[in-house]
Amino acid sequence: MKVLVTGAAGFIGFHVSKHLLERGDTVIGLDNFTPYYDVSLKEARIKELQNLNKDLVFEKLDLLDNDALSRFCSEHQPDRIIHLAAQAGVRYSIEHPRDVIQANVVTFMNILDQANELRVEHFVYASSSSVYGSNQDIPFRITDNVDHPISMYAATKKANELMAHVYSHLYQLPSTGLRFFTVYGPWGRPDMSAFLFAKAIYSGETIKLFNHGNHRRDFTYIDDIVSGVIKVLDSPPESKANHYALFNMGNNQPVELMEFLRLIEQNVGKKAITELVDMQPGDVEETYADIDAISNDLGYRPKTSIDVGIAKLIDWYKSYYGQV
């Protein structure tokens, strides 16, 4: 099977591509290497994939360039698409809303249109737990109202879900959206809490604990995310009346932020310097995924406990960044 993976140099895109290559699929990867964080990490991920499989098809391409995207898709004719490319960051989206609209909505329109033109067997795309906003009903259910986002990032992800629904309805394009919950693990994004905490502990810098540390997050290990993405990819919505599906993908076990920090300290072998500060704009106190739908429909069951996941992450961090 030929699978187009956008954002292949990104955290989740890298791991999904690696799994597909290892099981024998042809991966057609795209990424524009946006400098939102250290580009050398993205380059290292692609090098890792190329070392795994010399036949990997990869091209640096900006999805805003619709003509280039169309030519690329026409040349390679993927069977299915996993769209993971996006401008991440809730706080970034508050400061740069126009950039995020371009990166997350206009590009989504471009890749969605290509999926329809190619009549792909399945269009799978990344949404986010951010769409739940300040929803007070815990755990977050896929049937919850998500009409009140509190960041532009969340608004773009909700827009993606609606756009995909239109194409599934009008053109019978099989599509599935995945609301990811706080993904962490080796090769992860440097702007995420696990990396920020580890880096600060090693360097002796102060960690700001927002909301005075009173956060709970449904931290989901990358291997469990990849397992879920592959299960979804292999299971296009079959109903002739509705070719559209939407799932939460989380660990279903929220963890206190202070416990998360303690586990990082334990694995680094050094105490953190912390400062308690107020809540940030666009942030929420708790995330908690109800995963009954994806568990019942596809047998998705996360297997990695937070202590095991953090140990694996810090082992990789030490190796990659040369920490001892």
**How many Cβ atoms from other residues are within 10 Å of residue 290's Cβ?**
19
Give the whole-angstrom CA distance, residue 273 versus residue 264: 13
> What backbone torsions phi and psi does residue 79 show, to the nearest 5 degrees?
-80, -35
Residue among 101, 103, 100, 130 nearest 282 (CA):
130
Residue among 214, 225, 217, 202 nearest 271 (CA):
202
Residue with tokens 């769209």: 83
Residue 249, SS3 per DSSP = strand
Dihedral class, residue 22 (left if φ above 0, else alpha if ψ from -120 to 50, else beta): alpha
Give the whole-angstrom CA distance, residue 34 versus residue 127: 19
CB 268 within 8 A of CB 199: no
Which residues, including other chains, have CB under 8 Å from residue 204's CB and lie 6 or more apart?
A: 273
Give the whole-angstrom CA distance, residue 113 versus residue 70: 9
Residue 184, SS3 per DSSP = strand
Q: What is the DSSP letter of 104?
A: I
Looking at 36, 125, 132, 153, which residue is catalytic? Answer: 153
> What backbone torsions phi and psi does residue 198 show, to the nearest 5 degrees?
-60, -45
> What backbone torsions phi and psi does residue 119 show, to the nearest 5 degrees?
55, 50
Q: Where in 15-146 does DSSP place strands (E)?
A: 26-31, 57-60, 80-83, 122-128
The answer to whether residue 153 is catalytic is yes
- Alpha-carbon Rg for the chain in angstroms: 19
- Cite the active site residues: 153
